[in-house]
Structure 1
């Protein structure tokens, strides 16, 4: 255990507070964590353990017997939890038979009476010591390596944020995380009323300068804190679209308490698109693109957010992922030649020039299945719940249509893709200034731009970030590129890809 890490101290007034802390503690844990619980009988160790296990199970009535006589009780939940009580352990060597190492390999361990484990206790464990307090509650002292304490401090900061805003005694459960530094919690009031959603998004740390003295996030205009989310959500709601209301905020800390738009999405139980919901989403998107948005948005507190442009630099930087990751992977590690790179980027300069007169609007950027919620009890565009729009830009409206009909993670069969395009074009045609031919050209260019980015990104996630699972999307996004190449404006890029040896499938399978 790190000697430099300053221990945390917490006062818990009663059993209820102890149980809530057990729920919060779970949110700070990761697979492989070992929690060592020390203290006298009745100090609250079992109360905390029981609450943590029930929170993991999502069952407040789950039977959680004491492992006093069995020594270990295993729970095969979404993450395995092993609850040890070593009071009757006669020798630390018995921990091998109880499966401590195996439990830590793929789960979390709670250990009461950890002193019995001797040197078998993991050195990087989280130690929690319970002591009775004069007021009848208990005081906890928590020691752990700094990285683990930092996670716990964040969890405690969120509890304080909720209580400071009047949300006392809320039950919290992990909801989801995404590829960024954001995480989400489900927050349930103690009186059992409607669920809320907590966004935990600390300010994005700037990475090293990559080009022109700017880090990646600034080059491609990614939100660096929660202010853009608040601003874009406010602008969408003001125009009648279903973005979650912000119920409480602490902008500098990156904490937002949000209205819950529900959990139902646009996919069926097999992960297949539901045509009705996709068609409603296309109609909603057309309405967004027909609605003017001011570039500058003022949010409560006086912060001004300027929606950035999806500019040439950002588009070109993203398509370079194909050069830097996809082609070297395809060629067994061989880098792209200088001549190839120059020709590719010159082609993209000409394609971006073709966008000069493209229909532009706010671009939500990731308008696809993970970020669309279905609210079947509503009517019109209010049925389509919008989330994850903090990276919005002003750019070609076609980009969001590409995101929807060429979903990177879900196969949209060609027949449905064509139907969605027809629906969108029909809705936009009600505006006399809408030029369908120009839109289809910009759609093809933005389809190719997004596909080139993604076909490099999947490889980067595998090779740089050790996330090989994303490679399963590669056949689909290569097919998307083939579909884009059906437009004659893409002929130069299609020829370049053929010469570069990029193989394009005829279907997404």
Structure 2
């Protein structure tokens, strides 16, 4: 590959390498992208488009007829795709009649023979030219800066796979998550087991939110791959099912890891499966019983220090309720007096955690991050896949995360059963202080749910993501459970006066 600032040039030896480029581009393209394919007859435009479409569909047998006579062929895929062939276009105005603008608004447009409507295609399009060269073909890609950055990224990942013996592996979109990470399924050409690729590029610091620091640094969120690798190694050494690390480029932020499976802890209707939650809680109880080093060697040159879940991080997260939820609920900003009282309550509650049991907390131990492994036994049945943001803090936080799952309703009988299972296991340990643990559980439950009650609103108001608001009733119901502990009475009274926890629309 030859890369200049404004172009990428790649020699493709045969149809197989052309198909791999199509797979790579399928991972780079997003809705509202226009991919303009130019080149002589037989240069490989249709072959590239076919591979791209099959990759987006994750269906190697997808029928992809040439749209030479129909001019456009549409596909309702993960991202809708419209495949245009303008070779027989009578006049550029016909592009409107074909529904090009609407197709581009809703998805991806692949355009063969773009020169037939040169002035009517978006200026921000991705131009890809195919030319015969020897026994193969050369492709030249030019695109605006943002689109080119995405293409360079997927090609860098292909180079990473090649360096790890997977040059010819098939790649498929797996998922993005709420963070800045994305995931791919990687299928080795030799037919061996699927592997997972984590795409985690470093990001520039965001705006300061507290004491001149951006949110990730205040909240102790992982910003590179070292914490994930460190925790994965330690958890596996302790007998837990965390992914094996097959390859990692720390500078680029690319990891190749073990696939722990596809089953979760919910049934086909999205409801909790009690047996799987109970096994998850048992796994957590064992984790909390083990000593955990705070400094973990990762490479000869790097030691990961697990950060503390400190007062600053706890208060900043809890503050989301007064910053975002209260104005949304009441239609007004919190008064200075309300804010001061709320934060003073949290100062007192955090002081109450001084005597709490502290050890490793995974931070988001709930249904999206738990893999059920039915063919394994004991601890190995619970696959852990999200722990890069782990901290040292009150262990009760993780129990609150699973017993009060943010993404699915755990009804009260199951909540009580899970709490009972956990406590029964921990009572077997000498020195386990159950009353102090239950107090810290209530405080951590309240802290987590105050954070989430504000986060759902922030995702709506700031990020334009209204879908998370469906979790609000559940979050407020969980908060009421925390309020049952006498230690939470000041926070409960404050929320009652502020009207938080009442029926939400």
TM-score bucket (shorter structure): over 0.9
CA deviations 1:458-509 (Å, max 9, x no partner) are 111111111111111111111111110000110111111111121346xx99
SS of equivalent residue, structure 2 residue 155: helix
Cross-structure match for 2:483: 485
On the 8 A contact 1:204/1:225 being kept in 2, the answer is no
Question: Residue in 2 aligned with 1:468?
Answer: 466
2:345 aligned residue:
347
Contact kept in structure 1, 2:260 and 2:373, CA below 8 Å: yes
How many residues were matched structurally? Answer: 502
Matching residue of 1:254: 253
Q: Is the 8 A contact 1:203 1:226 kept in 2?
A: no
Take 2:95 and 2:121, find their aligned partners in 1: how far apart are those partners? Answer: 9
**Residue matched to 2:59:** 59
**Following the alignment from structure 2 to structure 1, what is the Cα–Cα distance between the partners of residues 447 and 476?**
12
Alignment of 1:183-194 (within 5 A): 183-194=182-193
Distance 1:315 1:503 in 2: 21
Q: Which runs of 4+ in 1 moved over 2 A?
A: none
SS state of the match for residue 319, structure 2?
A: helix
- Secondary structure of the equivalent of 1:83? strand
Which residue of 2 is the match for residue 380 of structure 1?
378
Match for residue 241 of structure 2?
Answer: 242
Q: Which residue of 1 aligns with 2:442?
A: 444
Q: Which moved more, 1:488-497 or 1:203-212?
A: 203-212
CA distance in 1, matches of 2:86, 2:300: 53
1:207 maps to what in 2?
206
Gaps of 5+ in 2: none
* 1:168 corresponding residue in structure 2: 167
Q: Does 1:434 align with 2:424?
A: no
Kept in 2, the 8 Å contact 1:482–1:504? The answer is: no
Give deviations 1:229-248, integer Å, cap 9, x for gaps.
11111110110100000001
SS at match of 2:174: strand
Shift of the alpha carbon at 1:13? 1.2
TM-score (norm 2): 0.98
CA displacement 1:16-70 (0-9 Å, x = unmatched): 0000000100100001111100001111111100101111221112221111111
Task: Identify the residue that residue 76 of structure 1 maps to in structure 2.
Answer: 76
Corresponding residue of 2:283: 284
Which secondary structure state, in structure 1, belongs to the residue aligned with residue 88 of structure 2? coil
- Equivalent-residue separation in structure 2 for 1:209 and 1:67 (angstroms): 51
Distance in 2 (CA, whole Å) between partners of 1:253 and 1:102 is 36
Deviations 1:319-343 (A, max 9, x none): 11111111111121x2111111111
Q: Does structure 1 conserve the Cα–Cα contact (< 8 Å) formed by 2:309 and 2:393?
A: yes
**Who is 2:392 aligned against?**
394
Would you say the 8 A contact 1:5–1:146 is kept in 2?
Answer: no
Partner in structure 2 of residue 32 of structure 1: 32
Task: Say if 2:56 and 2:173, in contact at 8 Å, map to a contact too.
Answer: no
Deviates most, 4-13 or 148-157: 4-13
Q: CA deviation at 1:79?
A: 1.8
Contact 2:240 2:380 in 1 (8 A): yes
CA distance in 1, matches of 2:250, 2:190: 27
Matched residue SS, 1:233:
helix
Alpha-carbon separation, structure 2, partners of 1:204 and 1:237:
28
Map 1:88-487 → 2, pairs under 5 A: 88-134=88-134, 136-332=135-331, 334-487=332-485
For the residue of structure 2 that corresponds to 1:187, the secondary structure is strand
CA-CA distance at 1:208 after TM superposition: 1.9
Give the conservation status (yes or no) of the 8 Å contact 1:481–1:504: no
Report the alpha carbon displacement of residue 180 of structure 1 after superposing the two structures with TM. 1.2
Alpha-carbon contact 2:75-2:82 (below 8 Å) kept: yes
Deviations 1:415-462 (A, max 9, x none): 111110000101111102111111111000000000111101111111
Output the CA distance in 2 between the equivalents of 1:54 and 1:220.
Answer: 41
The answer to whether the 8 A contact 1:323-1:456 is kept is yes
Q: Secondary structure of 1:175's match?
A: strand
Asked if 1 retains the 8 angstrom alpha-carbon contact of 2:30 and 2:79, the reply is no
Tell me, in whole angstroms, the C-alpha distance in 2 between the residues paired with 1:57 and 1:311.
45
CA distance, structure 1, for counterparts of residue 242 and residue 118 of structure 2: 53
Aligned to 1:14: 14
Structure 2 distance, partners of 1:12, 1:301, is 39
